[in-house]
Amino acid sequence: MRRVIGCVFVLVGAFALVAAGVAGFWGRDAAATVPLNVNTTTVLEGTASGALAKSDDPVKVKYTRTTEAAPKDSTDDVVVFVEAGCIMIQEGDTPDCARAEVDPRVVTTTERAYAMDRKTSEVVEDQAKYVGEDKAVPNMTGLAGKFPFNTERHDYEYWDDTLGKTVIATYVDDVDVEGVKTYQFEVSASAEDESLSPGDDGVKDTEDDVRGSYEATQTIYVEPTTGSYIDQSATQKMVTSTGLELIDAEMSYTDETVANNAEDAKANISKLDLIGTWIPVGGVVAGLLLLLIGLWLVLRGRKPNGGAHASSDDRTLVDA
């Protein structure tokens, strides 16, 4: 019986070691994948002035952005995100968003859809294949919604919607935010003669576009294990070629948004550590322990050298 139990322990121990190896070499990489159930709301607050803000002096504004994955349009390798953003002047009981034609407190509204590689977090080449021709952003490349898993301390190409091209997100420093280690990146974009918005035809990059100068900066604090944003601040200034200031805005994540981002990042790091570190380590320890116990039981269950037949032969020789 000891030998049977010992063999079972050996088999289970060997299986645990194999499982630990698989988890160690494959599990963490498999877990480091953008999920298909993302549905988040990000809030920034600050000030804005200019024609779009209906004021020459800075007024309080709030920018609410929702980001939701579209599982039906996504695949095992690519996730499709649909984003909607809205900047509202804060006067009285202001909603998160409204239609510009019915609420004068609306500064700007934006919508976009894009497809991202679930591993690298880079937007994929054939956007139209996933979001449709009418929503696809031409020549979209680089990073758009998050940084990659295991973000490194170097510069990245970062997509700018207004310019319609990538700019450089420059690594600056390691910074602790709400108890979370982050990498600080600085993004700067500018142009002197840029299409700031479509004209009456509603199509950008045509003759009746509103053109002018554009300046924007972003400071992004990225949690490197997950590539998620923890904190962010941004500025944007647009002036038409006729000298009209469209907007001069400065905003940053609210304290609540930063706290929620930090909490989510800590939870996701724990999940990745569990799959990529603790399960493999625990599997190795448990596997070795079971193997040792199993081998001990197998060896203890073996009969002494010669066994019962040897004893009988000895007695026969003595009797003779």
26 pLDDT more than 60: no
Q: Which residue has the higher pLDDT, 187 or 272?
A: 187
In the predicted model, what is the mean pLDDT of residues 291-317?
53
Average pLDDT rounded to a whole number, residues 268-275 = 77
Burial class of 35 by CB neighbour count within 10 A (0 to 12, 13 to 18, 19+): exposed
pLDDT, tens digit (0-9, with 9 covering 90-100), for 151-171: 999 999 999 999 999 999 999
pLDDT at 279: 52
Local confidence band at 119 (pLDDT 50, 70, 90 cut-offs): very high
Q: How far apart are CA 104 and CA 45, in angstroms?
A: 18
Helix, strand and coil content of the chain, in percent to the nearest 5, comes to 30, 40, 30
pLDDT at 195: 86
Using CA atoms of 91, 95, 101, 102 in order, give the dihedral in degrees to the nearest 10.
-80
DSSP state, residue 93? S
Give the residue extent of every domain in the chain. 26-273
In whole angstroms, what is the distance from residue 80 CA to residue 131 CA? Answer: 7
| Neighbour count for residue 205 (Cβ, 10 Å) | 9
pLDDT at 276 over 70: no
